[in-house]
Amino acid sequence: MNEKVPDSHEAPRLHGVWADLQDAIARVDAEQLGREMMKLMARLFPICRSITGDGVRETLSILSGRIDLRVQEVPSGYQAFDWTVPREWNIRDAYIKNERGERVVDFRKSNLHVVNYSAPISGTMTLEELRPHLHTIPDLPGAIPYVISYYQERWGFCLSQNQLDPLPPGRYEVLIDSSLKDGHLTFADAVLPGTSPQEIMISTYVCHPSMANNELSGPVLTAFLCGLLSKVRHRYTYRFVFVPETIGSLVYLSKYGEHLRKNLHAGYVATCVGDAGPYTYKRSRRGDSAADKVAEHCLKHLGPGSTVKIVDFFPSGSDERQYCSPGFNLPVGSITRSMYGTFPEYHTSLDNLDFVSAEGMAGTLKQYLRVIQAHEINMKYLNLSPFGEPQLGKRGLYPTIGGKTSDTPTSVERLMYLLGYSDGTKDLVDIANLARKPAWEFAPEILALMDANLLGLAD
Amino acid sequence: MNEKVPDSHEAPRLHGVWADLQDAIARVDAEQLGREMMKLMARLFPICRSITGDGVRETLSILSGRIDLRVQEVPSGYQAFDWTVPREWNIRDAYIKNERGERVVDFRKSNLHVVNYSAPISGTMTLEELRPHLHTIPDLPGAIPYVISYYQERWGFCLSQNQLDPLPPGRYEVLIDSSLKDGHLTFADAVLPGTSPQEIMISTYVCHPSMANNELSGPVLTAFLCGLLSKVRHRYTYRFVFVPETIGSLVYLSKYGEHLRKNLHAGYVATCVGDAGPYTYKRSRRGDSAADKVAEHCLKHLGPGSTVKIVDFFPSGSDERQYCSPGFNLPVGSITRSMYGTFPEYHTSLDNLDFVSAEGMAGTLKQYLRVIQAHEINMKYLNLSPFGEPQLGKRGLYPTIGGKTSDTPTSVERLMYLLGYSDGTKDLVDIANLARKPAWEFAPEILALMDANLLGLAD
Amino acid sequence: MNEKVPDSHEAPRLHGVWADLQDAIARVDAEQLGREMMKLMARLFPICRSITGDGVRETLSILSGRIDLRVQEVPSGYQAFDWTVPREWNIRDAYIKNERGERVVDFRKSNLHVVNYSAPISGTMTLEELRPHLHTIPDLPGAIPYVISYYQERWGFCLSQNQLDPLPPGRYEVLIDSSLKDGHLTFADAVLPGTSPQEIMISTYVCHPSMANNELSGPVLTAFLCGLLSKVRHRYTYRFVFVPETIGSLVYLSKYGEHLRKNLHAGYVATCVGDAGPYTYKRSRRGDSAADKVAEHCLKHLGPGSTVKIVDFFPSGSDERQYCSPGFNLPVGSITRSMYGTFPEYHTSLDNLDFVSAEGMAGTLKQYLRVIQAHEINMKYLNLSPFGEPQLGKRGLYPTIGGKTSDTPTSVERLMYLLGYSDGTKDLVDIANLARKPAWEFAPEILALMDANLLGLAD
């Protein structure tokens, strides 16, 4: 009664995708990718990034060494919706010297010491005159704060409270050897075409100076994820986006927003992915998109003892603010460890390389792979023998002896769930949710049923 | 890409409505309206009201002194759907005298002593003969019950158990100097036109003799609310209805039911609004009408320490029974303090002027104003710059310095929620619910965004 | 304004249905049907049933003595969807004899001793050779397991661990005097036409040898239910189905599946209905069908102190697996006591006549009748006087005296709920759920309102 004829290429293709992604997940541990990610992060750490300038260029250039990046620039003055790309900022040196000529605040020791996008300044002044330009965190006296002023010209220094307190009154020599000139904003992406034009996007940002969890964990993980996926078969097209936060994602949307509106199946902003905190999923503004459904399912099945936080979309945060703005309303959530704003080290010099770890990075990389794997197999399947149960026994998929023998094998249970619910209205994650099992555990049974011509794809 | 052009009158109009209602709320405390309401209640208290007769007329006449009431009458025999307006009832005196000629039950001391709508009677009889006509509350021996018999002719007296117990056997002289004659049923309303034909109705009833919370708190609060709203700018048209319960609301529906079906945006039955109990909201039969959504939102944001009861519609109660009958199914709920039937003083002489208070009345008046204010600003707004976030900084609405400086101001959070969710599908209460904040706190940001042409009204 | 004219036959017809079903429920206790059911079960218990063969024939023949059964057969080789009816199995004797010629395992003592559908075997062999053909339950050393092998030819014996342990090494004489030959599969049904072609089906299975709760409680209860319903007026058409599990329901669906897809209003698989466990309802695959709604409502209103388990559909279990397969997706749930698989006696010789009881059987029979009664009155009614409340007082349905007299009678409350919500969108169970009362308690008020022409049927 059902005339659906399975495409003979479907099953072999899915076998390949599944096997490749299983391998990729296995490689994370086997090749110690966590340590390699830490090495790359250490190399990127000292660079003074901002939303424009050579710091971004150098960062993207280093990442280009690992993956095939397409780097692009737009000029100062470029209009992205309601925003204008500002002048390009670069900085060579900065300090506050005391009367003995000693650098009491020294850009060479930490690029956080300068308010990001500070206008150039050079001169001497009293501590009192200097004070309105100094930023500290009294509650974290050992930490240098990260302070920015992109769109209003000002200058300033950031230092720890412990540095500030002993400074005696007197005159100080102040230098910020920076420049604000017409130039460019730099960004990059990498696209891995799949068999489907539908896309999965991982977006991350490259505009913060020396901080590890927010932000370097993001671009490093994204680059490794891109590297792994470039070596496997996959159905979806994958897009990896590296932009300065806010203005960069707006520029990106000004160029690719319409394309994404048509093709984006799911997206995630990768940030704060390297610490030891619990996995957190921030939902897209839609709340019920494919991005949300698959990520929540995967995180909820992390395994016993794992805590997971699922938070509703809120309109502050990172670049999901732009992707999810009402005009675009893209299916973009964010998978993080300790989310921005929730840990005291956030936006300070304490968010350093010690705050992240190879284990933290590898763990999150595996989660991203798990989510991608779940997307790859999360289709609506169709029971091709839907009137009554098909007789699995004669196909070797069901025990030939029954009654009070032993418990139903869990594999049989999965077969029954797949056959019982694959009516073209439910996808694999729906069915896995009904069975209260992780979607990926169903892959062997999906492949077996497709091989037996009992399951096809619903279009 | 969005071609919506904001109406240049919208923002100024909303500024005015908002400012006026803020003033009205402030006036409740400043002008000690609670005490004024208590004074009016004391004046209305002694009148012997019923569903017809001079008691209703006098009550409406006194209320007409404060607000511009339209008083109407329909004759006995008037047909309102399945009901017929009964003969008009009036009463001058009533008593039970003992053998010494002393009034042991005296209508002049409390009009509750006579069963409301009692037929006239005059004669002498033994206590035994009298007993079937006497009503007490054994469980509340000090209270006179309130008893009615509108549609079946009978006569009777109500007295406290403490009055009844010492009455010796013997003969008693009985008089009820009442009349049941063809006459009229009297009711009134006041309509305050707004810029919209859509209406908000407050309905209350005027048929109970000397009882304070149920019912006089209702018409007194309604009259004051009408007085306050007559002095402010508002979008909605307001309708204040004063009717005898049940038969009066049926008569009102027989005349205005079709109009209300077309124009009623939200309505509330005001009753039991003067005691110290927690605020209670009884949902309309629809359960998800604008009346319900706004009232529940406002009551849930009363403030810390406040308890609120939300109860589903049930088909007994007051005039919401008629408004919500399936043929009309109007969006009418009820905001009360201690709801009818839930306090022991209900329908007894203990529901007197001591049971209500100026604080209780003023508190509920403010709640009604709060709900009205929320209705006035609860529109679907439209982000006019929906592709990415608009740059608030260049408009002075966002801090120009960022990073680890201070927490995001709550005003900025409200701006972000308004912009992030104003896509024409969500109204303000929806957005406030997402932000878990009261809707009225968003008004300054709504007005600022409208002034900046970043927000308009979705039609 | 509402032009609905009530059908003058509706009210009398419903009076009759209601009265008859009330009688039927009363008869369960009065006539001690529990004990009669136990008697019938004892008679059926010794028969060696399987999915084909004389055991099924004899069982259906005995049931035919009580109810008017239509018995049918399909031949071996008959194709039911993906399945083929196997050869018919019959058995005369079976044993294992020790060297002294004593039957140490004896089919005459329990038909569970032979693996159901065992191929014939005759010979002598050592205990070691025999061992792969012996099945026990080490955790329940006193129980004989129930083991089947319908579709793969094998032979085997089941025995208790206590029987096996003392068997000495040595040679044993083995006989299974069974036959596997082309023959038939036998099944039966009974259909009681109602005034509506819409059907309610009770399906049960008749293929297990000597076990009481699973399965004989099912066919015995179904037969009695059929007997009771054959004597009462009812609106729905009732269908009682007796089939071998799985292959039998597939055969039945191959013949009547299309008919059921068009006409089945609700169905229940009756199994495990005789023990003392709490009532359990397993939802249909749809989860929100009429079968689910009514059964859940009835079980939730069993009364104080009763525990009820409601479980979502899962695609293993009994014949609901076939009825709910995606191609049919029929509204079929299952009302049981202790569900299959949840009690240790399940599929062993311990599921004997002592495991079930007259009280257990009678209790479940009443529940099935309650559910059927609820289906019979669960219609969408229509308030024929929907504008305002109808005046119940003038029809003797409302107290003529009011105020603080006594509480509203619960009958009046039910009248109000019926009138307030009967708008053609809600059925009785919806309304009863709103009132948090059992649906059947509303019957007197439904009938009174229909008699007063205040309530009709919505079509």
Asked if the Cβ–Cβ distance from A253 to B408 is below 8 Å, we say no
Task: Give me the mean pLDDT over the A94-118 stretch.
Answer: 97
Q: Verify whether the Cβ–Cβ distance B402 to A328 is below 8 Å.
A: no
Is residue A1 over pLDDT 50? no
Q: Alpha-carbon dihedral of residues A26, A29, A31, A35, nearest 10 degrees?
A: 150
Residues of chain A in contact with residue C326, where contact means CB-CB under 8 angstroms, are: 383, 386, 419-423
The pLDDT tens digits of the residues spanning A162-196 come to 999 999 999 999 999 999 999 999 999 999 999 99
B-chain residue closest to C426, CA distance: B326
Nearest to B265 by CA among B197, B318, B366: B197
Please answer yes or no on whether C391 and B324 come within 8 Å at the CB atom. Answer: no
Q: Which residues of B fall below an 8 Å CB-CB distance to A?
A: 1-2, 383, 385-391, 393-394, 400-405, 408, 412-413, 416-417, 419-423, 434
C chain contacts of residue B327, beta-carbon cutoff 8 Å: 1-2, 383, 386-388
- Residue B202 near residue B270 (C-beta atoms within 8 A): yes
**pLDDT, position B405:** 67
The residue in chain C having the minimum alpha-carbon distance to the alpha carbon of residue B151 is: C400
Residues 6+ apart with CB under 8 A from B234: B17, B20, B21, B192, B194, B195, B372, B376
Q: So what's the pLDDT on residue B406?
A: 63
C408/B316 touch (CB, cutoff 8 Å), yes or no: yes
Alpha-carbon distances, residue B68 vs B198, B227, C29, C271, C329 (angstroms): 20, 9, 69, 72, 64
| Distance from the A22 Cα atom to the nearest Cα atom in chain B, whole angstroms | 37
Q: Does A72 score more than 60 pLDDT?
A: yes
Q: So what's the pLDDT on residue B5? A: 60
Average pLDDT over residues C410-417: 94
A326 with B383: Cβ contact below 8 A: yes
Q: B391 vs A82: CB contact, 8 Å cut-off?
A: yes
Q: Which residues of A touch C (CB under 8 A)?
A: 1-2, 383, 385-391, 393-394, 400-405, 408, 412-413, 416-417, 419-423, 434
C252 neighbourhood in chain A, CB within 8 Å? none
C149:A388 CB<8 A: no
The confidence score (pLDDT) of residue B94 equals 98
Whether A257 has a pLDDT exceeding 90, the answer reads yes
Of C149, C325, C347, the CB nearest to A404: C347
C420-431 pLDDT, tens digit each? 999 999 999 999
Q: Which residue of chain C is at minimal alpha-carbon distance from B145?
A: C404
Kind and range of the H or E run holding C16: helix C10-30
pLDDT in tens, C76-117: 999 999 999 999 999 999 999 999 999 999 999 999 999 999
B328 to chain C: which residues are within 8 Å by CB? 387-388
Nearest CB to B386 within list A315, A326, A346: A326
Give the tens place of pLDDT for each residue, C272-315.
999 999 999 999 999 999 999 999 999 999 877 778 999 999 99
Q: Counting one residue from A and one from C, how many pairs have CB atoms under 8 Å apart?
A: 93
Q: Are A391 and C82 in contact (CB under 8 A)?
A: yes
Residues of chain B with pLDDT under 50: 1-2
Pair type for strands B199-205 and B171-181 = unpaired
Q: B395-441, pLDDT tens digit by residue?
A: 999 988 888 766 677 899 999 999 999 999 999 999 999 999 999 99
Chain A hits for B385, CB-CB cut-off 8 Å, are 81-82
* Cβ separation A386–C83 shorter than 8 A: no
Q: Averaged over A75-96, what is the pLDDT? A: 98
- Measured in angstroms, the CA of B448 and the nearest CA of chain A are apart by 17
pLDDT at A3: 52
User: Which three-class secondary structure string do you get for C292-358?
Assistant: HHHHHHHHHCCCCCCCEEEECCCCCCCCHHHHCCCCCCCCEEEEECCCCCCCCCCCECCCCCCCCCH
Q: What is the token pair recorded at A351?
A: 């968010």
Count of beta carbons in the 10 Å neighbourhood of residue A303: 6
- Touching subunits of B (3+ CB pairs, under 8 Å) are A, C
Q: Which two tokens stand for residue A157?
A: 């220094």
- Please give the DSSP secondary-structure letter assigned to residue B215: I
Closest chain C CA to residue A384: C327
Question: What mean pLDDT comes out for the span A44-60?
Answer: 98
At B277, is the secondary structure helix, strand, or coil?
coil
A306 confidence band (pLDDT: 50, 70, 90): confident
- The rounded mean pLDDT for chain C is 95
Check residue A407 and give its pLDDT: 67
End-to-end CA separation in angstroms for chain A:
18
The amino acid that residue B123 corresponds to is G
Across the interface, whether the CB atoms of A420 and C83 are under 8 A apart is answered no
- Judging contacts by C-beta atoms under 8 Å, the chain A residues touching residue B434 are 312
A144: nearest CA partner in chain B: B404
Q: Which chain A residues touch C324 with a CB distance below 8 Å?
A: 420
Alpha-helical runs (H) found in A71-164: 127-130, 161-164
Distances (CA, A) of A285 to A238, A336, A355, B378, B383: 21, 17, 30, 21, 15
The pLDDT of residue C363: 95
The pTM (predicted TM-score) of the whole model is: 0.93
ipTM score of complex? 0.94
The C-alpha atoms of residue A260 and residue B235 are separated, in whole angstroms, by 41
d(CA A215, CA C84): 63
Output the pLDDT for position C403.
84
The H or E element containing residue B404 is none
Q: Where are the beta strands (DSSP E) in A227-304?
A: 237-243, 264-270, 279-282
- The candidate with the shortest Cα–Cα distance to A344, out of A357, A355, A335, A334, is A355
Contact criterion met (CB < 8 Å) for A315 and B390? no
- Report CA torsion sign: B152, B156, B158, B164: negative
> Taking CB atoms and an 8 Å limit, are C82 and A402 in contact across chains?
no
- The answer on pLDDT for A158 being more than 80 is yes
